[in-house]
Amino acid sequence: MVKVSRKGWLLIGGGFCLFLLLAPFLLRGYWIRLLTNMFMFGILAESVNIIAGYCGYLALGNMLFFGLGAYIVAVLMTKFAFSFALALIIAGLGASLFSAIVGLPILRLKGQYFIMATMALMELLRAITNNIPITGGGQGITLPIFPGGAAAANFFFYYFMFGLMVFAILCTFYISKSRLGYAFRAIRFDEDAASVMGINPTPYKTIAWAISAFFTGLTGGTYAYWMSYIDPGEAYQIMPSIKMYLMMVLGGRGTVLGPITGAFFIEFISELVWGKFLELHFLILGLILVLVVIFTPKGFMDLLRRGLSFSKLMAGVKENRV
Amino acid sequence: MKKRKSFFWTRGTIIFSCCLILISFPTFVNSQEAKVRIGAAVSMTGRLAKEGSLVKKGYETWTEWVNGRGGINVGGKLHKVEMIYYDDKADATTSAKLTEKLITEDKVNLILGPYSSGIAAATSAIGEKYGYVTIAPVANGDFVYERGFKYLFSVLSMATQDLVPVAELAVKQIPKPKTFAAVVLDHVFTLPAIDGVKKKSLESGLQEVYYGKFPVNTSDFSGILTTIKGKDPDLLYFGGFFPDAVSFYRQAKELNVNAKLYTTTGTAGHPDWLSVMKKDGEYVLAQVPWHQDMPYKGPFFTSASFNDFWKKKYGEEADYFSACGFVSGILMQLAIEKAGSLDQTKIRDVLRAIDVETFFGKFKFDEKGKNIAHRMGIIQVQSGKQVLIDPPQPGAKILYPAPSWKER
Amino acid sequence: MLGQVLVNGLLQGGFYACIGVSFSIVFGIMKIINLAQGTQVILGAYITYAASHLLGLDPFFTLPLSIIGLFILGYMIQKYLINLVAKGGLIITSLLTFGLNLILINIALLIWKADFRGTNPWYMGMSFEVAGVTIPYVRLLIFVIAILFTIVLELFFRKTETGNSIRATALNPKAAQLMGIDIGKTYCLTFAISSALGGAMGTLFILAKPISPFTGGDFLIILFSVAILGGLGSIPGALLAGIVLGMVESFSTMFFGIAFQNVVLNLVFILILIFLPTGFMGKRFYG
C-alpha cells in the first residue's frame, strides 16, 4: 500500500525537479530536445490556463501570440541585428501589448463568439504576415544559427525553456493566491455577478489575457531561434492550440500544476506511440482526446484525488450526459 | 477504498515499467552484422503525405535493390543497408525532433532529408551541428542553401531554376509570345519557381500583364481569371499545390480563359494529374526533376532501364518523386564506396568533389551544396501522356499554340 | 467585367451559404462548435468519388448516397459520443469534435490513402454566356442545389412538428423536456441533418476541386464566418451571409488583389463580431 502524503508528494516533486535540472548531463540529444519540447508545451498550456482555466475565456486561437512572438524575434534579429535577449523581451511585451489592444473590444464577446474571434484573429495575423515584405512572406524567414556545437545549443535551449516554464508556474501560483486569482475565478463563475460584487471585469480579463500572451509570445520567440526557420503556416497553427487545451483539460483546468503535468503526459505518450504506429497516430491522438473528455472532463488529477474506479468513471460521464 | 488505491498503484507501476521497456527497446536490437544505418524522416501524413510517401517508396525500393546486390561496399566489406523511417507529419518541430533522434538515439550513419524546403531548413541546421551529412532529395528552396552549411547537399537544382527552361522554350515558338501572366501560391514551395521564370521572361523581352499571389486554401479563382481574361496573355504561369492547379485550370476552362501556353509548377507532372484532369489537363507544361525519356546513363541504370526496373516491380511507370528518393540512395552509395568509410567528413569531401552521371542526371555540387549540374526537364501533357519536350527528344515536339478551350 | 465579378461572387456564395448552414444549425441549436464538420464534408465527397468510380454513377446522382450515409454517421456520432458530454460546456465539446475530426481523417487516410481524388464528368467546364457574362453549368447547378437545400431546411424547421421541437429545444432545453420532447433524440436528429447537409456539400465540392483526407480543415474559417455573420443558427441569415462572403471575396480579389483576400475576409469578420455580434439576422436566442 502506497499512501502518498503531502510530504511524499513534495519529495517526489523535488526529486523530479532535481532530475530535470541535471538531465542535460545525463541524457542524449534527442531526450534533451524532447524535454525541451515538453517544457514548451508546458508553458503554452499554462498560459492558456491563465485565460481559459482561471478566467473562463476560451482563447482557442492563442497560438496567434506564439506566431507574433516568433516573428518579432525573427524580424528583429535578422533585419535589425538585435540580440536574442533584447528581441525576446520585445516579443513578450509586444505580444502582451497586442493582446491588450485587441482584447478591449474582443474580450467583450462571450462563449463561442470569443473562440471564433480569436481564431479569426490568428488567421488575420497569418494573412498579414504573408503579405508584408519584412517577414519574408510565404517564403518564411531564416534566423541566425545559435553559435557553438550541438551540445551547447541543446543546453542553452533546454535551460532557457525550463527557466521560462518555472517562471510561468511561479507566476500562475502567485496569481492563484492573490486577489487577481479570485477576481479571475469570479469572472469565470459568473461575470455579471462578479461585476455586481464590485469587480469590474474588463481590466481583469485584459490582464489575464496579457499575461497569457506574454508567456506565449516569449515561447514563440524562443521557438523561432531554436528552430532557426519559421514560415507563416508553421508559426500560426490551429493544431497546437487544440493540443494545449487537451493538455490543460487533462491536467486540470484552473490548477497551477495541472496543465504542466498534462503537457508532459501528452507529449510523452505521443512520443511513445508515434514511432510505433506510423499510420495511426491521428487515430490514437483522436481517441485519447475523445476518451479524456468523456471520462475525465475535470482532469486526471481530479480523478486521482477521488480514486480510480469504474463507478467513479461512470459517474463522471453521467454528469455531462444529455 | 484502501484496497482499490493499492490496486491502482501496482497497476501504475506495471504500466510504468512497460513504458520503460518500450523506450529502451531500440537499444536491445543490436545485431552483429555489419550495417549501414540510414535514417529518414518523411511526411507520411499531413498536407504533403502523397509526395512524401512516394519519396519513401523510392528509398524503400533502393534499400531492397542495394541489399539484393549484397549491400554497400565500405572499404572492401559489404554492408547491408538498414533504413529507419519516421513520419514528420509535415511539421518542422516534429521533424527536428526526429532528426535528433536519428542521430543521437538510432545512431544512424547518414540522413536522407525531409520532403519540403521549410522543414529542411529546420532539420539541416541540426545535421550541421552534429556534423552529419544530409542529402535532401526534393527540398530545393534556394534560401536553405544560403546559410553556409557544409554538410547539406541538394539532389535537385535550385527552385528558382525550375521553370526557366519554359521561358527559353516559349520565346523560340512561332508566333512569338509577347505577354505573360503569373499566378502563384504564397508559399515557400511555389514562389521561387514562379519568380525565377518571371525574371527569365522579363529578360527575354516578354511583358508581364498580370502577377498575383493567392493564399493557401483558395478554392475560387474566378476573380483572378476574370482579370486575366481581360489582359489576354500569351503565356500563363501557374504555381500552386495539386488541388490549386486543378481548380485553376478547371475554372480557366469554365470561364474560357485562353493562352497559347499553360504552365504549372510540377503538378502536371504529378502522377494523379492525368486521372483527375483527363482531357482538360492537355497541353499543360510542368517541370519534372526526372523522366524516363531522359538520356542519362549511370553506373547501375539508364533513365529508360530504371523505368523498366520499376515497371517490372510495381506494374506502373516510375514517378519522379520515387526517382528522387531512389537516386538519393544511389548518390549515398557512390559517396560511401568512394570514401571507403562511414566517416562523415570523408563522405562530405567525396560528395563535394563528386562529378558523376546517374540515371537521374548529373551531380556536381558547389560549395553551398547546390547541385549545379542538374537541369529540370519539361513535360507537356499530350494525348493523355506526360511527354518530355526538354531536353529535346527525337519525335517529341511542343504543341504550340494550344487550341482554345472551345476548340478542343 | 463588373457583371462577371458579381456573378462569380454569387455562385461561390451559394455554396458558402449552404455549407455554412450545415455548421450553423448545430452551433445555434446545441451550442456546439463542430470542428469535425469540414471532414464530414470530405467524407461526403469520398462517397461520391467511390460511387461514381465503382458504380459509374454521375456525381450529381450520388447526392442521395452521401446524404443518407452522412445522416447515419451523424446520428451515431451524436448518440454515442457527443451526447455523452453535451452538458460539459464549450471546451469539452470542442475538444471532442476535434478528436473526432482526427479519427475521421485517419479513417479516410486508411481507406483512400493520401492521394488526391477528383471527378471529371463529361460536362465539366462547359459554360454559356449571357450578356458578356460567362456562367459555368456546373457552378450554376451547385448554386441552385445549395440554395434549394437551404430553403427546404428552413421550411422543415418552420413547418413541421419535428422542426418545431428542434427549435423549442434550442430555445430552452429544460422547458422543452418538460413539454415531453426527448432532448437526446432531438440533438441526434439535428446533428444528423447537419452531417447530411455537409455530405451533400461534399458531393458538390468534389466537382470543383480534388480532395485529400486533409482538405476538410480548409473550410473552418468559412464555416465560422457564415455562422457568425448570419446570426446564431439563423438559416436565412446564413444564406445572406454566404452570399455576402462570396461577394466580399470576389470584390476584394478585384480591388486589392487576391493576396489580401484573407486579410479583408478576417478583418470584416472580426469587425462584424465586435459591432454586430448577433449577425445579420440573428436574435439573442435561437427559435
Interface-testing mutation among A33, A122, A230, A282, with chain B (most B C-beta atoms within 10 A)? A33
Q: Which chains touch A (3 or more CB pairs under 8 A)?
A: B, C
pLDDT at B10: 53
| Helix and strand element counts for chain A (H, E) | 15, 2
Dist. CA B154–CA B137, nearest whole Å: 6
pLDDT at B392: 85
B29 is a domain residue: no
Band the pLDDT of C285: cuts 50, 70, 90: very low
Check which CATH number belongs to the domain holding C36 and give it.
1.10.3470
Q: Is B5 exposed, middle or buried (0-12, 13-18, 19+ CB in 10 A)?
A: middle
Helix or strand run (H / E) with residue B332: helix B320-339
If one counts the domains in chain C, the total is 1
CA distance B7 to chain A (A): 8
Does B47 score more than 80 pLDDT? no
> Looking at chain B, how many residues does it have?
408
pLDDT at B25: 46
Dist. CA C198–CA C25, nearest whole Å: 11
Chain A residues close to C98, C-beta within 8 Å: 242, 289
**Residue tagged 479570485 (cell numbers):** A182
Cβ atoms of residues C12 and C143 within 8 Å: no
pLDDT above 90: percentage of residues in chain A: 38
**Tens-digit pLDDT profile for residues C217-244:** 878 878 888 888 888 778 888 889 899 8
pLDDT at B61: 95
Look up the domain containing B288 and give its range.
161-292+377-407
**Which letter, b or e, does each residue of B338-347 get, where b requires 16 or more Cβ atoms within 10 Å of its Cβ?**
bbeebebebb
Which residues share a beta bridge with A190?
Answer: none
Q: How many other β-carbons are positioned within 10 Å of the β-carbon of residue C9?
A: 26
Dist. CA A129–CA C266, nearest whole Å: 13
- Domain shared by B79 and B103, yes or no: yes
Whether B130 and A34 lie within 8 Å, measured CB to CB: no
Amino acid at A223: Y
By Cβ distance, the residue of B215, B224, B226 closest to C262 is B215
Which residues contact residue B407 at a Cβ distance below 8 angstroms, ignoring those fewer than 6 apart? Answer: none
Task: Write down the pTM of the prediction.
Answer: 0.87
CB of C182 within 8 Å of a chain B CB? The answer is no
Which residues contact residue A253 at a Cβ distance below 8 angstroms, ignoring those fewer than 6 apart? Answer: A49, A52, A53, A298, A299, C91
Dist. CA C19–CA C15, nearest whole Å: 6
Band the pLDDT of C71: cuts 50, 70, 90: very high
Does B9 score more than 70 pLDDT? no
**If you average pLDDT over residues B194-217, what whole number do you get?**
90
Cβ atoms of residues B281 and B257 within 8 Å: no
CB of C274 within 8 Å of a chain A CB? The answer is yes
Band the pLDDT of C281: cuts 50, 70, 90: low
CA B143 to chain CA centroid, nearest Å: 16
Q: How many other β-carbons are positioned within 10 Å of the β-carbon of residue B218?
A: 24
Does B317 score more than 70 pLDDT? yes
By Cβ distance, the residue of A127, A253, A288 closest to C263 is A127
Q: How many other β-carbons are positioned within 10 Å of the β-carbon of residue A16?
A: 11
Q: Which chains touch C (3 or more CB pairs under 8 A)?
A: A, B
**Tens-digit pLDDT profile for residues B266-275:** 888 887 888 8
Interface-testing mutation among C106, C253, C261, C267, with chain B (most B C-beta atoms within 10 A)? C253
pLDDT at B15: 55
Smallest CA–CA distance from A120 into chain C, residue: C266
C192 is a domain residue: yes
Among the ranges given (B161-170, B230-239, C113-122, C201-210), the one the predictor scored with the smallest mean pLDDT: C113-122
Grid cell, residue B261, equals 501556353
pLDDT at A275: 65
Dist. CA B52–CA C113, nearest whole Å: 12
**Tens-digit pLDDT profile for residues C199-214:** 999 999 998 888 888 8
Q: Which of B48-57, B69-78, C188-197 has the highest mean pLDDT?
A: C188-197
**If you average pLDDT over residues A225-238, what whole number do you get?**
88
Query: What radius of gyration, in Å, describes the C-alpha atoms of chain C?
Result: 19
Mean pLDDT (chain A, rounded): 87
Does C168 score more than 80 pLDDT? yes
Helix or strand run (H / E) with residue B113: none
Grid cell, residue B256, equals 474560357
- Domain shared by B390 and B255, yes or no: yes
Residue with the bigger pLDDT between A316 and B95: it is B95
Band the pLDDT of B30: cuts 50, 70, 90: very low
Residue with the bigger pLDDT between B53 and A317: it is B53
DSSP letters for B116-160: SHHHHHHHHHHHHHHT--EEESS---GGGGSS--SSEEESSPPGG
**Tens-digit pLDDT profile for residues B361-402:** 999 999 899 999 998 899 999 988 889 998 888 888 888 888
Grid cell, residue A267, equals 507529449
If one counts the domains in chain B, the total is 2
Mean pLDDT (chain C, rounded): 87
CB of B24 within 8 Å of a chain C CB? The answer is no
Grid cell, residue A318, equals 453521467
Whether B254 and C117 lie within 8 Å, measured CB to CB: no
- Domain shared by B272 and B399, yes or no: yes
- Domain shared by B254 and B389, yes or no: yes
Residue with the bigger pLDDT between B390 and B327: it is B327
**Residue tagged 516491380 (cell numbers):** B313
A146: DSSP letter: P
Smallest CA–CA distance from B119 into chain A, residue: A229
DSSP letters for A27-67: S-HHHHHHHHHHHHHHHHHHHHIIIIIIT----TTTHHHHH
| CB-side neighbour CA atoms (13 Å) of B277 | 32
- Domain shared by B133 and B190, yes or no: no
Whether A290 and C225 lie within 8 Å, measured CB to CB: no
Which residues contact residue C76 at a Cβ distance below 8 angstroms, ignoring those fewer than 6 apart? Answer: none
- Domain shared by B252 and B310, yes or no: no
- Domain shared by B215 and B270, yes or no: yes
DSSP letters for B229-287: HHH--SEEEEE--HHHHHHHHHHHHHTT---SEEEESSGGGSHHHHHHHGGGGTTEEEE
**Tens-digit pLDDT profile for residues B206-246:** 999 999 888 877 778 888 888 898 889 999 999 998 888 98
Q: Is C161 exposed, middle or buried (0-12, 13-18, 19+ CB in 10 A)?
A: exposed
Give the closest residue to B214 by CA, choosing from B187, B180, B179, B196: B187
Check which CATH number belongs to the domain holding B275 and give it.
3.40.50.2300
For residue B155, report the phi and psi dihedrals to the nearest 5 degrees. Answer: -70, -35
Smallest CA–CA distance from A280 into chain B, residue: B45
Chain A residues close to B5, C-beta within 8 Å: 1-3, 307
B352 is a domain residue: yes
CA distance A57 to chain C (A): 10
Among the ranges given (A208-212, A284-288, B337-341), the one the predictor scored with the smallest mean pLDDT: A284-288
Helix or strand run (H / E) with residue B218: none
Chain A residues close to B217, C-beta within 8 Å: none
Give the closest residue to B261 by CA, choosing from B399, B391, B60: B399
Chain A residues close to B216, C-beta within 8 Å: 233
Q: Which of A158-172, B287-301, B315-329, C254-268 has the highest mean pLDDT?
A: A158-172
- Domain shared by B79 and B141, yes or no: yes
By Cβ distance, the residue of C33, C224, C259 closest to A131 is C259
Q: Is C80 exposed, middle or buried (0-12, 13-18, 19+ CB in 10 A)?
A: exposed
B370 is a domain residue: no
Chain C residues close to A130, C-beta within 8 Å: 259, 262
CA C148 to chain CA centroid, nearest Å: 14
Q: Is B204 helix (H, G, I), strand (E, B) or coil?
A: coil
Dist. CA C43–CA C95, nearest whole Å: 20
Residue with the bigger pLDDT between A23 and C221: it is A23
**If you average pLDDT over residues A36-50, what whole number do you get?**
94
Band the pLDDT of C113: cuts 50, 70, 90: confident
Dist. CA B86–CA B89, nearest whole Å: 9
Band the pLDDT of C156: cuts 50, 70, 90: very high
Chain B residues close to C264, C-beta within 8 Å: none
- Domain shared by B170 and B286, yes or no: yes
Q: Which of B84-88, B120-124, C43-47, C275-279 has the highest mean pLDDT?
A: C43-47
CA distance A120 to chain C (A): 6
State the count of interchain CB pairs (< 8 A) between A and C: 146
Band the pLDDT of B114: cuts 50, 70, 90: confident
Helix runs in C55-136, H state only: 63-77, 83-85, 90-112
Which residues 177-236 of chain B have a CB within 8 Å of chain A? 185-188, 191-192, 213, 215-216
Look up the domain containing C223 and give its range.
2-275
**If you average pLDDT over residues A142-155, what whole number do you get?**
88
B79 is a domain residue: yes
Smallest CA–CA distance from B213 into chain C, residue: C259
Cβ atoms of residues B72 and B333 within 8 Å: yes
**Tens-digit pLDDT profile for residues A278-309:** 678 788 888 888 888 888 888 777 777 776 67
Helix or strand run (H / E) with residue C232: none
Whether B44 and A33 lie within 8 Å, measured CB to CB: no
Which residues contact residue A105 at a Cβ distance below 8 angstroms, ignoring those fewer than 6 apart? Answer: C274
What residue ranges do the domains of chain A occupy?
27-236
Cβ atoms of residues C171 and C181 within 8 Å: no
Find out whether the peptide bond into B175 is cis, omega within 30 degrees of 0: yes
